A and B are shown apart, each in its own frame.
Chain A
């Protein structure tokens, strides 16, 4: 299965990771 992600999905992880 091809793993593609749209930009909003990817951007949603930006600050979650930054705060870890």
Chain B
């Protein structure tokens, strides 16, 4: 008997998963690979449950999830005027919090959690680094204060961060010209 077609739940956007592995012998662009794209809830979970947990990646690796067509780099025209809400984690949090925070970030993206400002979202990146992992949501226009701060407030709430914790938004233009420790926050929530 023929199987009934399974109903799927389409997402607002098609998303692309990118993987970066730091191999110093190759140019940076060669280390960044598009893994796959998806545009349904079901395909998101199929992908998520079949790839390595972020906490198990080796140092120097990144996962990026961006709207299809946007490359996960400052230079992309959809990113270059934007910035990122940055979450920096302690070394200990890789084991206790990292995977849950990354999953929550992904659910915010694919579920369009930022209401009318979800259109401002370009994607999200997780950096696995020995000195401390980072998660960020990238938005397309750093000067759009209303949208950026709305996204920041919702994101902080969704991550379950204490009101005492402050997270910052950095414009890519500032990040690109300064070392990370010196990049000033354009907004905080």
Please say whether chains A and B are actual partners in one complex.
yes
Q: Interface majority SS on B: helix, strand, loop or mixed?
A: helix
A5–B112 touching, CB < 8 Å: yes
Residues 40-75 of B, flagged 1 when their CB comes within 8 A of A and 0 if not, give 011011101100000000000000000000000000
**Docked-complex contact A4 and B45, CB < 8 angstroms:** no
Interface centre among A5, A14, A16, A18 (most CB of B within 10 A): A5
Q: Is the CB of B45 within 8 A of A18?
A: yes
Residue on B nearest A11 in the bound complex, by CB: B107
Question: Which one of B45, B107, B118 lies within 8 Å of A7 (CB-CB)?
Answer: B107
Chain B residues, Cβ within 8 Å of A14: 45, 48-49
Q: Which of A1-20 contact B (CB under 8 A)?
A: 2-7, 9-11, 13-14, 16-18, 20
Which residue of chain A lies nearest to B104 when distances are taken between CB atoms in the complex? A7
- Shortest CB–CB separation between residue B137 and chain A, in angstroms? 15
B77 at the interface (CB under 8 A from A): no
Cβ of B111 under 8 Å from chain A: yes
Contact A5 B110 (CB under 8 A): yes
Query: Beyond A3-B12, A4-B12, A7-B158, is A17–B45 a contact (Cβ under 8 Å)?
Result: yes
**B11 A13 Cβ-Cβ under 8 A:** no
Select which of A10, A16, A17 is within 8 A of B110 by beta carbon: A10
* B132, CB-defined interface residue at 8 Å: no
Cα–Cα distance between A10 and B12 once the two chains are bound (Å): 13
A19–B118 alpha-carbon span in the complex (Å): 31
**Residues of B that sit less than 8 Å from A by CB:** 9-12, 41-42, 44-46, 48-49, 104, 107, 110-113, 115, 118, 158
Give the 6 A-B CB pairs with smallest separation, nearest first.
A17-B45, A4-B112, A5-B111, A3-B12, A18-B49, A7-B107
